[in-house]
Amino acid sequence: MRQILGESLPIKNLISMIHKVSGNKTNILVIGDSGTGKELVARMIHESGPMKGKAFIPVNCGAIPETLIESEMFGHKKGSFTGAISDKIGLFEAGSGGTLFLDEVGELPLSMQVKMLRALQEKTIRRVGANEDIKVDVRIIAATNRDLEAGVKAGTFREDLYYRLNVILIKTPSLRERHGDVEILANAFLKKFAERQKKELDGFSDEVLEIFRTHHWPGNVRELENTVERAVTLETGRIINVGVLPPAVVVNYDGGARSKLESLSINVGQQKLAAISPGPPGQGSSKEIRLPLPDFKDGPMNLDEVLAEVEKQYLKHALSFTGGVKKKAADLLGMTFRSIRYRLGKLGMEVVEVDQDDTKPSS
Ligand SMILES: Nc1ncnc2c1ncn2[C@@H]1O[C@H](COP(=O)(O)OP(=O)(O)OP(=O)(O)O)[C@@H](O)[C@H]1O
Ligand SMILES: [Mg+2]
């Protein structure tokens, strides 16, 4: 099994929590940003406890069409609906004795939440179209990167189910909360991908390590892992250098060799909105944005990718400033409400919806 790597305090706390809870069958809710290891934590809880060797069944609650979800979870009798050509057991039965990992649990439709609550409370399920209940003995670990409490307030997530799942809450720390671990993880991924690709690599250049330490890693460990895999694939020397990093990772870096690059500033309207200039990161005025110019000696880059990343970070920043209120974030960014909504959709950014005007459930 894959290990949870890291030596930072948040990771040590996480591992000790996993050991505390793995011995019994209490329901657990794992929350954390995308790519922080929620599924890995769930697997480790499963593997470290009495369910080891039994089924671990991951279910992405957001990926099953609403019309099929009940039959997926609980099974069905032959002929109970069009397409039910034979009896079928559901995931609760398949996972009996083991762990059911309900990923993206915040995406469960309300109708299913009621049935799920019943299954958890009574420890019985009923196949679609059947008349009798079946006992099930399965541990539930649920995960979400959404704010379920906000979902409860907004009426999209049942409060009773929330408390049922949330007997024990485990939060996976984001990578930027544990910068000391970045190098440990990067080295482990380097070793893994170098072996897999049969490449001889000695490590990362100092500049790359500096970028890894200062990048904010919105995609967390998954982003780091993908970054290292890409770098191992593209690197032709023995040391991973900055040229094989994706632009989105390099975009905020303005130190090292890059600070010697030509500077550029952009004036928009009356305000100096962007200054792309040499110097260490984070020292510009609040109206200044420091971006390194690409060093084309490192190879081609993708401007659209960079601009999309900049757009994403600005949207995220504005939304976190306004507590998720899109209308106010749109005002801060000088755009209309329609425009911010369009951009968030286009960039696939999930937002916990708190705006009065567009999020009241219609029913
Ligand atoms: N502490 C860690 N040590 C080693 N690998 C990790 C760690 N945390 C995450 N990973 C790896 O990062 C990747 C993403 O982890 P995982 O799929 O568990 O994240 P997630 O929180 O479920 O993300 P999402 O919300 O996007 O589904 C996986 O390949 C996982 O093995
Ligand atoms: Mg996941």
Place of tokens 């039965």: 93
Which pLDDT score, from 0 to 100, does residue 251 have? 79
Q: What is the Cβ-side half-sphere exposure of residue 309, based on CA atoms within 13 angstroms?
A: 18
Q: Which of 200, 213, 271 is nearest to 239 (CA)?
A: 200
**In the chain, which residues have pLDDT < 50?**
256-286, 355-363
Which pLDDT score, from 0 to 100, does residue 320 have? 78
Which pLDDT score, from 0 to 100, does residue 146 have? 86
CB atoms within 10 A of CB 47: 16
pLDDT digits (tens, 9 = 90+) for 12-28: 999 999 999 999 889 99
CA distance linking residue 9 with residue 265, whole number of Å: 41
Atom 16 of ligand 1, residue of closest alpha carbon = 37
CA distance linking residue 239 with residue 248, whole number of Å: 20
Atom 25 of ligand 1, residue of closest alpha carbon = 34
Which pLDDT score, from 0 to 100, does residue 254 have? 63
CA distance linking residue 5 with residue 11, whole number of Å: 8
Which pLDDT score, from 0 to 100, does residue 268 have? 43
CA distance linking residue 30 with residue 141, whole number of Å: 7
Beta-bridge partner residues of 264: 276
Residue type at position 309: E
What distance in angstroms lies between residue 103's CA and the mean position of ligand 2's atoms?
A: 6
* Bridge pairing between strands 203-204 and 168-171: unpaired
What distance in angstroms lies between residue 319's CA and the mean position of ligand 1's atoms?
A: 25
Which pLDDT score, from 0 to 100, does residue 116 have? 95
Which pLDDT score, from 0 to 100, does residue 296 have? 80
Candidate from 15, 30, 39, 40 with most ligand 1 atoms within 8 A of CB, to mutate: 40
Q: Which of 202, 209, 288, 310 is nearest to 256 (CA)?
A: 209
Q: Which of 64, 61, 65 is nearest to 141 (CA)?
A: 61
Which pLDDT score, from 0 to 100, does residue 128 have? 94
Longest Cα–Cα distance in the chain: 75
Which pLDDT score, from 0 to 100, does residue 243 have? 92
As given in the structure block, the two tokens for residue 153 are: 């307030």
Return the ligand 1 atom nearest residue 36 CA.
21
Beta-bridge partner residues of 102: 59, 142
Beta-bridge partner residues of 143: 30
Q: How many residues does this entry show for the chain?
A: 363
Q: Which domains does the chain have, with CATH numbers?
A: 9-173 (3.40.50.300), 176-301 (1.10.8.60), 308-359 (1.10.10.60)
What distance in angstroms lies between residue 1's CA and the mean position of ligand 1's atoms?
A: 13
Which pLDDT score, from 0 to 100, does residue 288 have? 54
Q: What is the CA radius of gyration of the chain?
A: 24
